[in-house]
Structure 1
Amino acid sequence: MNGEGKRVLIVEDDPGLRFTMTDALEGNGFAVTGADNGDEAIRRLLDEAFDVVVTDLRLPGKDGMEVLRAARGNTPPPSVVVMTGYGSVESAVAAMKSGAEDYLTKPFPVEALLLLLGKILRLRSLEEENRDLKRRIQDRSLYEDLVGGSKAMQGIFDLVSMVAETDATVLILGESGTGKELVARALHRRGKRKDGPFLALNCSAIPESLFEAELFGYEKGAFTGADRRRAGKIEQADGGTLFLDEVAEVPVSAQAKLLRVLEERSFTRLGGSETVHVDLRVISATNRQDMKALVDEGRFRMDLFYRLNVFEIRLPPLRERREDIPLLVEHFIEKLGGDRRVSEKAMARLMDHPFPGNVRELWNVMERASILCGEGTIGPEHLPPEFLGVRASPAAIPLPDEILPLKDAVRRFEAAYIEKALKAAGGSKARASDLLRIGRKALWERLKK
């Protein structure tokens, strides 16, 4: 057999036997260290790492059982084989109960030792593969739908691993549909508060007049209709993670109180005077690529921005990691269930598409294609028209007969375009805002005009 450089410690006080075993093992590719007593062996185990220890039970000084205990105390522990004389099998069995892998009864041919080491190392290799597989399964469950083998995504996984177990606040930047909440959930699952709650709050979906009540909670009688005390999202997330999506939309009126939560981990409910203390992690996200512009405009506090942006993770758009599209497609097909595959032509169309809606758009495309295809092969005919080279011509854009002031013409076009987006989104304002790549609050303001 080939020992492939595996390190073996032989502990034997008989120099002739020690030499014979050493010579046989080195001839088969093992790296061998010898010790003629238990004290020397234990010193070696403290200073060096071994894959296997082969030790006699009867030794000068500390005996083989003490060598076994010292070996088992190493991380990772080496496998241990004990040698015993004829009539001392009971001692060998006791050693195996204490963690030894196997035993050899003296005298034995060196071939028996080689066969035993081969079996032990094969078993260790299988155990390592099993541990690696479990780690990969665990990692996949921790990252959930966050899929990617590209260099850009491997960088994201590395950043998540680095910051997950800290208490640092994290700001996730990325276009709509890039997976900001998935990253936030991965940070939570890998963090110290993974057993606590994960609460997500979309800051753009809450009217300014209700924002403080939603975030900080309120006392009974704080305003008309407040007939009981209600805990806000911060209090509900105590012991876990609060995810503030679209954090750029936090009203200026609530920013000072949010800053206090980040600095002191305390706040007061609306209409109350009691200070509430919480232990939570705050992760925030925005699709704005330059939050500093809001700070410069006076719409976002500088001190709050720096508190939120202790650690920044910037997610790449799908068009900048096209090599991940086949992986994502495979993942989505598996998630949707059924027996389907994607044809080469359909995959080529997917690879060529710019995906302004990013991974969320790809998921919607695959869900639609799976419905149209049923069981079988997804072809180009199952993809939306824009994937087939169909483009709207300039003549398809309606123009007014009269010449209007540019401002009025833009307003009219915007209204028609928003109406078209709402129809495409089936009336869902949330999906329409994603298609238009504007915040839900911004869409709501335009609809009111």
Structure 2
Amino acid sequence: MSQILVVDDDRSMREMLEIFFAREGFSVRTAESLPAALDLLADQPADLVITDLKMKGGSGLDLLREVRTRHPATEVILITAYATTETAVSALQLGAYDYVTKPFQMNEMKVVVQRALERRRLLSENLRMRAELAGGYDFGRLIGKSPRMQEVYRLIDLVAPTRSNVLVTGESGTGKELVARAIHLRSPRHDGPFVPIDCASIPPALMESELFGARRGAYTGAYTDRQGLFELADGGTAFLDEVGDIPLDLQVKLLRVIQERTVRRLGDSRDRPVDVRVVAATHRDVEGLVSSGKLREDLFFRLNVVRIHLPPLRERREDIPALARHFVEQIAHAENRPPPALLPEAVQRLCTQPLPGNVRELHNLIERAMALSGGGALGPDLFDPAQGTPDPCVPTEVPENGLALDEVLGSIERRLLEAALRRAGGVRKEAAKLLRISFRSMLYRLKKHRME
């Protein structure tokens, strides 16, 4: 759960932001002054600080300077009613992620916060990947010794040292991003950034500025020039997940970026050189996307220099035991507890299940079983298809000693997400349609319940 610190001497503003982001699933703390904020950060660092510019006892810029010095991994967003271009530029030059002017819509602030946290996640992930490489990286979290996976490893080894673009195909949940990361870490670009881009989750109206950046004044609130994700990936690898969801007009611009190795920011007339390797992915029939006109043929040829296809889990069932044991150890480590025993009968039960959601569904099954096991061994009964998914029991009365409303609602939401994913065969976009929510909302809820 991401940690947010809200700093404002206006109590109503603090409370409004605290309530809103707590409901969105974040852990939120508040402070009314710079000294109080620094004390809280010293006690427990935050992923993101949202601070007012003008406060008693020190300004938001003062806090920004302190955060950059003491907690360089923390992102900072400034808010103020006193907007000037000079102040905005100063804040961004000092290292603020963004600058929001009052009054603002909470949904607009939510988008800025999500982007800031995504940037922090990217930076942290790249540091982790470099440490993984220094520790002797093999194929990382790609698990399996089946002949189908051996062919995947062979292709990764062959293509990684080259500059060639790669197209990774396979059903949802098979591990396409892991293949892209393996290619990056085994390439001469391993010291450069790895930037995953979920094309399906970016609203079409924002996609151009997200991918290619924007010049100051290109749109309302663009107080300074902003880099796009391709510029952030300079010297490294850009992973375009669900590339078929890029609008056709932007596919033309993407093709130009790949061919010319330059980007042009929204509202700019100058081309900027970028050295980016592209690994693209889709869970859909890519030739069908081309024939239906949803993916330009010329872009397809540029991306499909080397094709790596990931088999579904049902076609490599011999890898399920190793994957299951890996997930048990991984989840136990994350929860700081000893890994429970995974009984042979449980492994046998898992090997006979259809698992339409592939590796992602297997991970969720293991996590749910560990949550329900009470710390004991994982037996076959914990992997019964009906286990853990009863009809939600919604209390209509509040018990005398009260109840934890967020926990009750969260439990119901998780069960419905699991049910929708099963009915949709693990395809998140179809599951979102079944739940009548946007795909972006689906991704957020999956992340909130650690179901990514």
Q: Could you state the TM-score of these two structures normalised by the residue count of structure 1?
A: 0.58
Structure 2 stretches lacking a partner, 5+ long = 1-132, 333-337, 392-411, 439-452
Percent identity over paired residues: 47
In the TM superposition, what whole-angstrom CA distance separates every residue of 1:210-257 from its partner, at most 9, and x where no partner exists?
110110010001112212111000000001110000111011110011
Q: Distance in 1 between matches of 2:423 and 2:216?
A: 35
Q: Distance in 2 between matches of 1:425 and 1:314?
A: 31
Q: Distance in 2 between matches of 1:295 and 1:301?
A: 6
Q: Which residue in 2 is equivalent to 1:250?
A: 246
Select which of 314, 332, 351 maps to 2:327.
332
In the TM superposition, what whole-angstrom CA distance separates every residue of 1:130-173 from its partner, at most 9, and x where no partner exists?
xxxxxxx9897342210001011111111100000100000000
Q: Which residue in 2 is equivalent to 1:152?
A: 148
1:439 is paired with a residue of what secondary structure?
helix
Q: Distance in 2 between matches of 1:140 and 1:328?
A: 20
Q: Give the superposition deviation at 1:375.
A: 3.5
CA contact (8 A) 1:171 1:283 kept: yes
Q: Give the superposition deviation at 1:344.
A: 2.2
Q: Which residue in 2 is equivalent to 1:33?
A: none
Q: Which residue in 2 is equivalent to 1:368?
A: 368
Q: Give the superposition deviation at 1:339.
A: 3.5
Q: Which residue in 1 is equivalent to 2:236?
A: 240
CA contact (8 A) 1:205 1:441 kept: no
Q: Give the superposition deviation at 1:368.
A: 1.3
Q: Give the superposition deviation at 1:332.
A: 1.3
What amino acid sits opposite 2:230 in the alignment? I
Q: Which residue in 2 is equivalent to 1:303?
A: 298
Select which of 170, 176, 179 maps to 2:172.
176
What amino acid sits opposite 1:298 in the alignment? G
CA contact (8 A) 1:156 1:313 kept: yes
Q: Distance in 2 between matches of 1:354 and 1:139?
A: 36
Q: Which residue in 2 is equivalent to 1:323?
A: 318
Q: Give the superposition deviation at 1:336.
A: 2.3
Q: Distance in 1 between matches of 2:435 and 2:372?
A: 36
CA contact (8 A) 2:174 2:359 kept: yes
Alignment RMSD (CA, Å) = 3.2
Q: Does 1:280 align with 2:276?
A: yes
Q: Distance in 1 between matches of 2:435 and 2:344?
A: 44
Q: Distance in 2 between matches of 1:430 and 1:381?
A: 22
What amino acid sits opposite 2:310 in the alignment? L
Q: Does 1:260 align with 2:256?
A: yes
The verdict on how the C-alpha distance between 1:430 and 1:268 changes in structure 2, with shifts beyond 3 A counting, is farther
The verdict on how the C-alpha distance between 1:272 and 1:182 changes in structure 2, with shifts beyond 3 A counting, is same
CA contact (8 A) 1:170 1:312 kept: yes
Q: Does 1:349 align with 2:349?
A: yes
Q: Distance in 1 between matches of 2:145 and 2:188?
A: 26
Q: Distance in 1 between matches of 2:390 and 2:348?
A: 18
The verdict on how the C-alpha distance between 1:441 and 1:267 changes in structure 2, with shifts beyond 3 A counting, is farther
Q: Distance in 2 between matches of 1:226 and 1:220?
A: 5
Q: Give the superposition deviation at 1:424.
A: 4.6
What amino acid sits opposite 2:158 in the alignment? M
Q: Does 1:293 align with 2:288?
A: yes
The verdict on how the C-alpha distance between 1:435 and 1:293 changes in structure 2, with shifts beyond 3 A counting, is closer
CA contact (8 A) 1:425 1:432 kept: no
The correspondence of residues 173-212 of structure 1 with structure 2, limited to 5 A, is 173-212=169-208
Which deviates more, 253-262 or 369-378? Answer: 369-378
CA contact (8 A) 1:239 1:280 kept: yes
Q: Which residue in 2 is equivalent to 1:125?
A: none
Q: Distance in 2 between matches of 1:332 and 1:190?
A: 24
Q: Distance in 2 between matches of 1:263 and 1:335?
A: 41
Q: Distance in 2 between matches of 1:206 and 1:340?
A: 39
Q: Distance in 2 between matches of 1:196 and 1:168?
A: 16
Q: Distance in 2 between matches of 1:160 and 1:166?
A: 10
2:141 is paired with a residue of what secondary structure?
coil
Structure 1 stretches lacking a partner, 5+ long = 1-136, 393-421
Q: Which residue in 2 is equivalent to 1:77?
A: none
The verdict on how the C-alpha distance between 1:294 and 1:446 changes in structure 2, with shifts beyond 3 A counting, is farther
The verdict on how the C-alpha distance between 1:218 and 1:429 changes in structure 2, with shifts beyond 3 A counting, is farther
CA contact (8 A) 1:333 1:366 kept: yes
Q: Which residue in 2 is equivalent to 1:439?
A: 429
Q: Distance in 2 between matches of 1:256 and 1:441?
A: 30
What amino acid sits opposite 2:263 in the alignment? F
What amino acid sits opposite 2:215 in the alignment? E
Q: Distance in 2 between matches of 1:229 and 1:433?
A: 44
The verdict on how the C-alpha distance between 1:429 and 1:216 changes in structure 2, with shifts beyond 3 A counting, is farther
Q: Distance in 1 between matches of 2:251 and 2:299?
A: 7
Q: Which residue in 1 is equivalent to 2:104?
A: none
Q: Give the superposition deviation at 1:436.
A: 5.1
CA contact (8 A) 1:178 1:316 kept: yes
The verdict on how the C-alpha distance between 1:344 and 1:315 changes in structure 2, with shifts beyond 3 A counting, is same
